[in-house]
Amino acid sequence: MAKKPQLDVRRLKDEVADYLKKSRFEKAAEVLEQLVSAEPKDMSHRLKLGDTYRRLNQPEQAIGAYQHAAKFFGDEGQLIKAIGAVKIVLEIDPRNGEAQRQLGEMNERRMGKATLEGAGLKKAAAAAMAAARATAPIELDDSPASAAPHSLVPDAPDGALDLGADDAPLELDDGMVTRPIRPVPAPAR
């Protein structure tokens, strides 16, 4: 059984950096393919390969590299990195059904599907959104009568606040003490 020749990984990495710096993307892709073979668990090579294929306008190869990285990261429990790789796939091909499915699964894993469903957050969020859509828009009254200044207290002069019967300090629920706020008189007309 013949042994595979040992690759100089450091030299290959330097070559990739040099090719990328000089915008020689075809050569960079060739060397990155060698690096991927030499170090299959180093996903930085796959991500660079995907970036390089994007620059070469080869979306299928780019998607393949990103999806491989996303699966690896997902299997390793690195969900943020996996989600990032899948989002790049969706930038390239927004209708990619596999990437949409992966993104949904990863988000569920990340957020803890049981927690979301158990707490009823999905239903509550949907109900809140429906209520917000059902709320009638506020209409402003532009009549001259509505232009008059309003008091915060019925039958009180303009700008008056009802501070209660006494001006004693108020104690709040958290134990802090505050003094009543004095209103600023309305400007003379």
- DSSP characters for 88-134? HHHHH-TT-HHHHHHHHHHHHHHHTHHHHHHHTHHHHHHHHHHHHHH
Instruction: List Cβ neighbours of 12 (8 Å cut-off, separation of 6 or more).
Output: 31, 34, 35, 38
How confident is the prediction along the chain (189 residues), in pLDDT tens digits per residue?
455 556 789 999 999 999 999 999 999 999 999 999 999 999 999 999 999 999 999 999 999 999 999 999 999 989 999 999 999 999 999 999 999 999 999 888 888 754 545 555 556 556 555 555 554 444 444 444 444 444 344 444 554 444 445 555 555 555 555 555 555 566 676
Instruction: List Cβ neighbours of 163 (8 Å cut-off, separation of 6 or more).
Output: 180, 181
Residue 127 lies in a domain: no
Residue 172 lies in a domain: no
Give the model confidence (pLDDT) of 127-152 as tens digits: 555 555 554 444 444 444 444 444 34
Residue 184 lies in a domain: no
Residue 3 lies in a domain: no
Side-chain-facing half-sphere of 27: CA atoms under 13 Å: 13
Give how far Cα 186 sits from Cα of 112, 136, 144, Å: 55, 33, 19
Residue 39 lies in a domain: yes
Looking up residue 72, the CATH number of its domain turns out to be 1.25.40.10
Q: What is the reported pTM? A: 0.57
Number of domains in the chain: 1
Residue 128 lies in a domain: no
Residue 123 lies in a domain: no
Which residues constitute the domain of residue 54? 9-114
DSSP symbol at 8: -
Give how far Cα 10 sits from Cα of 6, 44, 77, Å: 12, 14, 28
Query: What pLDDT, on a 0 to 100 scale, did the predictor assign at position 7?
Result: 73
Residue 179 lies in a domain: no
